[in-house]
A = this chain, B = another copy of it.
């Protein structure tokens, strides 16, 4: 008889209490041992991955997804080293973030504690199995992994290796649970365990995010698409703006912090639009532009409203000339996804208005959108980039997998 998802989740919650009680040094030793176990199991993991790859090819899976699924010795080594990097992070648990003495002598501290049990829902990326497990455990949580069925053998091999390190540190293996049943019914059941699961984090395409949001009764932090904008102000340094444009669009077009739309202030459009088009075309980028842009560079393809707001994840960009800063802000409010926006300007007042009036998770002044990443912003490894404006907003590191609670110390105070 197979174990139900509820029983698995209950066992994970029970085990999570042991994880929460581990010291920083103990957690580091645990992750170290997990990395060693995974490296030792390399042949098993690669063989499991070969099975997944074979099935995926037989199922006619596309090239981009096949590439995300594929492991080799080099990639597996990267996964092992990433576990070590998580072990080196500062431990968020137990950190006293504020301490205050009240007039009646009570000492009120805010102290970070683990969330409890985190369910990670993702697609066919085996590296997420190791990354998410390491980060959740380092933050003192139990973790339930529900990966895509295309990567099931790879995920199982990785999880099995990592779990093998738990008992020696006094933690039941259920602290790291991989959901073995890839059915949607089981996923829905997991997402409705309100008395067990403290947070679900979906990472993947719009379909997955939508499905999780629709069916979850547990709290969800969404990692939705990144429709990132660069607004080139009339007071921009044109060379700097071009650098941000080329880097944002072309350095890695398939990721969520890549630029998708360029907005150009009308006052500089006559010179900046041709320069931008030339720089983009030189790197093979297709430009879809508004009528005002096309009046400047005649042979541009026309953009429509589906191009504004599109997450191309490819060498394609939408371009629009706007009257001023207000029009740029209005465009981003209408078409943006609250992920990352950039302004290029030397005008500090314009920069501050852009920062204040947009509510995106990350707002950049004169810097590339590609820095919107936990590692680049100083968080260490990230579990994703939240576009939910609650708990965490923007890149989420280990600290975002904990919450502040109150510890109060007195000497007999009572309330009048």
Contacts and interface: CB of A to CB of B under 8 A. Distances in A.
Interface of A: 17, 20-21, 100, 102, 106, 108, 113-116, 194, 198-199, 213-214, 217, 219-220, 237, 240, 243-244, 246-248, 251, 333, 351, 355-357, 359-368, 370-372, 376-378, 388-395, 403-416
B389 A393 contact: no
A251 B415 contact: yes
A414 B355 contact: no
A244 B376 contact: no
A389 B378 CA distance: 25
A363 B407 contact: yes
Contact of A361 (B198, B389, B406): B406
Given A194-B213, A368-B415, A405 B362 contact: yes
A405 B394 contact: yes
B393 A405 contact: yes
B414 A362 contact: no
Contacts of A219: 219-220, 388, 390
A371 B413 contact: yes
A198 to B, nearest CB: 5
Contacts of A237: 412
Contacts of A213: 194, 217
Contacts of A251: 414-416
Nearest to A370: B415
B363 A406 contact: yes
Contacts of A388: 219
A414 B102 contact: no
Contact of A198 (B355, B390, B405, B410): B390
A365 to B, nearest CB: 5
Nearest to A395: B406
A120 to B, nearest CB: 15
Contact of A408 (B21, B100, B367, B416): B367
Given A194-B213, A198-B389, A363 B405 contact: yes
Q: Which of A363, A378, A413 has the most CB of B within 10 A?
A: A413
Contacts of A376: 102, 106, 415
A410 B21 contact: no
A363 B410 CA distance: 11
Given A237-B412, A366-B413, A368-B413, 18 more contacts: A17-B333, A106-B367, A106-B371, A106-B377, A114-B359, A219-B220, A248-B414, A362-B407, A363-B405, A363-B406, A364-B409, A367-B409, A368-B410, A370-B414, A370-B415, A371-B415, A377-B406, A395-B406
